[in-house]
Each structure stands twice: as C-alpha cells, then as structure tokens.
Amino acid sequence: MGNRHDAELIERGSLCMVQSQEMNVTVKLGDRSYDIVIEPGALKKLPALMADCGLHARKGLVITDANVGALYATATGLSFPAATIPAGEESKSQATLFHLYDEAIRAGLDRKSIIVALGGGVVGDLGGYAAASFMRGLKYVQVPTSLLAMVDSAVGGKTGINLPQGKNLIGAFHQPSLVVCDLDVLKTLPPRELRAGLAEVIKYGIIYDAEFFAYIEANIDRALALDAEVMAHMVARSCAIKADVVSQDETETGLRAILNFGHTLGHAIEAVAGYGNYLHGEAIAIGMVFAVRLSGLPADQQARIETLFTRTGLPVKAPELKWDDLRRAMSVDKKSESGLPKFVLAKEIGRVEYGIPVDEAALAKAYTSLLASVPE
C-alpha cells in the first residue's frame, strides 16, 4: 500500500471507447470490468456514453429521487421512464424496493433491460440492488450525483437495503456496467453534503496514499469552493484507489475491508442517532477520528488528520450519544463475527491494517479520549 501505485492507478478508461477530456478510471474485474467516466457535462452525453459501452436496451428504467429527478431526470436525454422515490435513507427499505419491482414490471422490463441509478448513495445502493435481484440480475449504470456517491458507493458493486436492525443487512455484490460522474452536478449539491463527501476523499488519503492526503491538505479550501481542477483530481484519485482495492478483492474477503476505515463506529453513530441525523460522511469522519485514536498514531499525524476534518467542516465527535448505545450497535454490524468487532487501524498516514481485534477496554478508552480532547 502507500502511495507507490500512483502512476498506474490513474489511467484512461479503455473498455468503452469513451472519449473524454478528463481522467477516466477502469475497474478491472475480468469480464465484469467497467469504466468510470469523470467529466463535467457528462450527464447530457449519457445515451452516447452508454452506446459506447454496448449498452443498447429497448427497455429500461431510470431510478431517481425527488430532489435529483426534478433537477436532472430530463437532462440525461434517455427515453426510459423514471421511477422516483422519496429522497433520504428511509428509502433504502423493503417497501421502496418492492415498489421499484412493481415499477420495473409496469415498465415492461425483461432480462435484457437496463436500470439507470441517477442520484446519491441511497439511489445507487437501492437501484443497484433492484438491478441485482430483479429477474436474477439486470445490467445497470450508476450516475452518482453526490460527491459521496461518486467517490464511494457508485463504484465497486456493493448494493443493498437496510433492515430496521441495521444498515445494508440485505444486499448483493453486483457490479455496474458503467459509472458516469458529471462534476457539474456538484454545483447543486448542498454544501453540507459536499463536506460529507470530502470525508470519504480524506479517507482514501489516510488508508492508501500519503501524497494524496497532503494534496487534500493543500487544496481543501479550493475543493470547498468547487474548483474544477481540484475536484476532478480528487474524484479521479479516489475512484482510482477504490478501483484498485476492489479489483484485488471484489467480495471483501480481505483487503477491501480497508475501505471500511472509520465505518464501524460510523455505522453505529448513524444507527443510534437515527438515520439522517448524521450524514454518512459526518458519521464516518467521527469514526475515523475514533479509529485514529484507537490506532495510537504519533501525535503530529493524529493532529494533521483531526485538523483536516475540522477545516473541512466535519464533526469529530458526537458527545450527545451514549457509549453503551454505540457499543451495542457495533455488535450488529455485518463486519462483526460473533459479536466482537474487528477494526481497520492506521499505521501511519497512507497505510492501514485490517481485521484487528480490539478489546473492550481499549475501545472505551479511545472513545473517552476522543470526547475529552478532540477540538470542537
């Protein structure tokens, strides 16, 4: 790991003959490989980009949410009908999933039809899972419209819905056939969601690439101002790191676990606070600060990480939540085996280890230290 893969990671997409002014990334997974197109204005070219990848379907369904659909559903130029779900995590539910199945039948989809998930992480996870499970699996295209979805959930094939007992407890690994990131749509993203997306960008620096972490430190203000060049590099580099990890471990039997850095506590925060009270990126920012404390990094590296989250406008603690509740919620997490959570811990900025068991006392101590000393 570390930052020695830089040169090979960022490469032009080659699978689909896609022509682009910006950097594209290929997720290499044998016959399930696909391109991530990263380009301002890409949304308007969606039918052409899909055709470039051989995605010709007589019938299809666009899945979007009320917010995104109002802004962009007609901009894509696709002739497929749209199924619009309510915005928000509550839509990653049994009821909404089965509503989408009904919409798919109403749209006359068959096994050769295509689903297009146009929206943020909720739409991508839910739409991807509908594609994975309808008629035992349809092809689908991810068109992420939030920064979080561009750099994380739209890439890698993890799809799913929540149960009342926990997030993403139902799901499938089902790779998209194409991912299209139109950087222009970030202009309509609420600033709070932009900051939350940057939490995942910072994560890639911590887990995989010290040089990228330094780039983020140097350019965080330009990123927050949506500087086009900075944003293009941050999205492309994040996607390239994720693609590299997923290519090595598609179904998370090992390495892919590093992408969950900060997520064990992060998921617990989301569950205990109630989904939606913390954005995913906000919750994992706190989770990463917690994991850094648990890792026992040198003080200067710990300070750099915590300062960067604070400069990004992300929370670094959740003092209103009780430790006992968070600890209990961590036991239900998918990553736990037999009730004992294992952690991804940082060895230094740019390098982590996964599958590390941590005892109860160390967990509680790290959380106490975080509450006591992290700057507001």
Q: Nearer to a second copy by C-beta: 135 or 210?
A: 135
Query: Which one among 14, 188, 307, 336 touches a second copy, defined by CB under 8 A?
Result: 336
Supply 159's token pair: 């799809």
With CB under 8 A as the contact rule, which of the stretches 222-230, 305-313, 337-345, 366-374 interacts with a second copy?
Answer: 337-345
To the query of whether residue 222 is one of the catalytic residues in this protein, the response is: no
Pairing of strands 351-357, 342-348: antiparallel
Smallest Cα–Cα separation from 259: which of 152, 363, 337, 130? 152
> What distance in Å separates the CA atoms of residue 267 and residue 327, rounded to the nearest whole number?
11
Report the amino acid identity of residue 196: A
Smallest Cα–Cα separation from 172: which of 148, 202, 217, 137? 137
Query: Is 171 one of the binding residues for a second copy (CB under 8 A)?
Result: yes
To the query of whether residue 317 is one of the catalytic residues in this protein, the response is: no
With CB under 8 A as the contact rule, which of the stretches 4-12, 34-42, 156-164, 300-308 interacts with a second copy?
Answer: 156-164
The size of the interface with a second copy (CB under 8 A), counted in residues, is: 36
To the query of whether residue 280 is one of the catalytic residues in this protein, the response is: yes
To the query of whether residue 11 is one of the catalytic residues in this protein, the response is: no
> What distance in Å separates the CA atoms of residue 19 and residue 249, rounded to the nearest whole number?
29
To the query of whether residue 242 is one of the catalytic residues in this protein, the response is: yes
For a second copy, what does the binding mask look like between residues 113 and 132, x meaning CB under 8 A?
Answer: -------------------x
> What distance in Å separates the CA atoms of residue 230 and residue 364, rounded to the nearest whole number?
38
Query: Is 328 one of the binding residues for a second copy (CB under 8 A)?
Result: no
To the query of whether residue 267 is one of the catalytic residues in this protein, the response is: yes
Query: Which one among 15, 47, 101, 362 touches a second copy, defined by CB under 8 A?
Result: 101
Helix (H) or strand (E) holding 144: strand 139-144
> What distance in Å separates the CA atoms of residue 67 and residue 260, rounded to the nearest whole number?
28
For a second copy, what does the binding mask look like between residues 184 and 223, x meaning CB under 8 A?
Answer: ----------------------------------------
Pairing of strands 60-65, 114-119: parallel
Query: Which one among 94, 248, 307, 369 touches a second copy, defined by CB under 8 A?
Result: 94
Query: Which one among 29, 169, 224, 362 touches a second copy, defined by CB under 8 A?
Result: 169
The half-sphere exposure of 164 on its side-chain side, counting CA atoms within 13 A, is: 1
Q: For tokens 């950087």, what's the residue?
A: 183
Cβ-based neighbours of 299, under 8 Å, separated by 6 or more: none
Query: Is 172 one of the binding residues for a second copy (CB under 8 A)?
Result: yes
Query: Is 170 one of the binding residues for a second copy (CB under 8 A)?
Result: yes
> What distance in Å separates the CA atoms of residue 289 and residue 46, rounded to the nearest whole number?
38
Catalytic residue among 203, 260, 270, 282: 260
Query: Which one among 45, 92, 139, 158 touches a second copy, defined by CB under 8 A?
Result: 158
To the query of whether residue 263 is one of the catalytic residues in this protein, the response is: yes
Query: Is 160 one of the binding residues for a second copy (CB under 8 A)?
Result: yes
Can you name the residues that pair with 345 across neighbouring β-strands? 353
With CB under 8 A as the contact rule, which of the stretches 105-113, 177-185, 201-209, 362-370 interacts with a second copy?
Answer: 105-113
Q: Measure the N-to-C terminal CA separation of the chain; round to a whole number of Å.
A: 32
To the query of whether residue 250 is one of the catalytic residues in this protein, the response is: no
User: Is the distance from CB of 337 to CB of 355 less than 8 angstroms?
Assistant: no
User: CA of 97: how far to CAs of 118, 129, 294, 343, in Å?
Assistant: 16, 8, 37, 31
Catalytic residue among 195, 233, 237, 267: 267
Q: Nearest approach, Cβ of 305 to a second copy (angstroms)?
A: 29
Query: Which one among 31, 338, 359, 360 touches a second copy, defined by CB under 8 A?
Result: 338
Interacting residue ranges for a second copy, rule: CB under 8 A:
58-59, 94, 98, 101-102, 105, 108, 110-112, 132-137, 158, 160, 163, 165-166, 168-173, 251, 332, 334-339
Point out the residues that are catalytic.
136, 158, 200, 242, 252, 256, 260, 263, 267, 280
